[in-house]
Amino acid sequence: MLQTKKALVIFSGGQDSTTCLLQAIHDYGKENVEVVTFQYGQRHAIELEKARWIAQDLGVKQTLIDTSVIKAITGNALMDQSAVIEQTDNDMPNTFVDGRNALFLLYAAIYAKGQGISDIITGVCETDFSGYPDCRDVFIKSMNVTLNLAMDYPFNIKTPLMYLDKKQTWALADQLGGLDYVMRHTHTCYLGVEGGCHQCPSCKLREKGLNDYLQQKGQPYV
């Protein structure tokens, strides 16, 4: 039976998905929120440890799904330990994983239907999306329609960060009372460095957004 007041958050243990989780707990209540985390062979596997810890700390059920089969059919710098992570102004970043968000949404939807959950929340963002085509609103909307047709079920994919930049995402975490929590306990670094490498595109984006927000608040930079 459909339970419209429950939500499933696609959860990596990073800044964006943790902010989405905090918002979901605020909106639905902790007892009505679950998270699903994907192991896909990412080199920054530390995020799985962070995701497990945060889910336990916040008291929400976590389901881990192994999708590492994707390594057999595609490769990129996010899954190759020896690759140099690069991002240019004109080309697709070599951290883009073909089909990743489509796969995540498909498996999340299969799980959600089995749990009687219709609302699926993902932290994809079109504003600071690093050039990833599967973070665009048009893709999410098309995937929502596809999943509804594929399973004859009223999924509602929510993207609360879609039009926020990183500064605004930090502001949202602050509004939810979780600024310090997200700063201290989440992981974003592509290289898997505890506390961040401060050099990869993900670290730079995270830190610039945070410093811009703290400057707006009149607080010191981190």
Average pLDDT over residues 54-80: 77
**pTM for the structure as a whole:** 0.87
Q: What is d(CA 120, CA 56) in angstroms, rounded to the nearest whole number?
A: 20
Q: What integer pLDDT is reported at residue 84 of this predicted model? A: 39
Q: What is the share, in percent, of the chain residues with pLDDT greater than 90?
A: 61
Tokens coding 33? 């929120």
Which residues carry a binding-site annotation for Zn(2+)? 189, 197, 200, 203
What DSSP string describes 135-174? Answer: GSHHHHHHHHHHHHHHHTS--EEE-TTTT--HHHHHHHHH
The least confident of 7-11, 100-104, 130-134, 135-139 is 130-134
Domain residue extents for the chain: 7-188
Residues annotated within a binding site: 11-21, 189, 197, 200, 203
Confidence bin at 165 (pLDDT 50/70/90): very high
Question: Given its phi and psi angles, is residue 64 left (phi above 0), alpha (psi -120 to 50 degrees) or beta?
Answer: beta
- Of 62-76, 90-104, 202-216, which one has max mean pLDDT? 202-216
Q: Phi then psi for 121, rounded to 5 degrees? A: -115, 130
DSSP letter (8 states) at residue 44: -
DSSP 62-73: EEEEE-GGGGGT
Binding-site entries for ATP = 11-21
| Residue 96 pLDDT level (bands cut at 50, 70, 90) | low
The domain made up of 7-188 has a fold known as Rossmann fold (3.40.50)
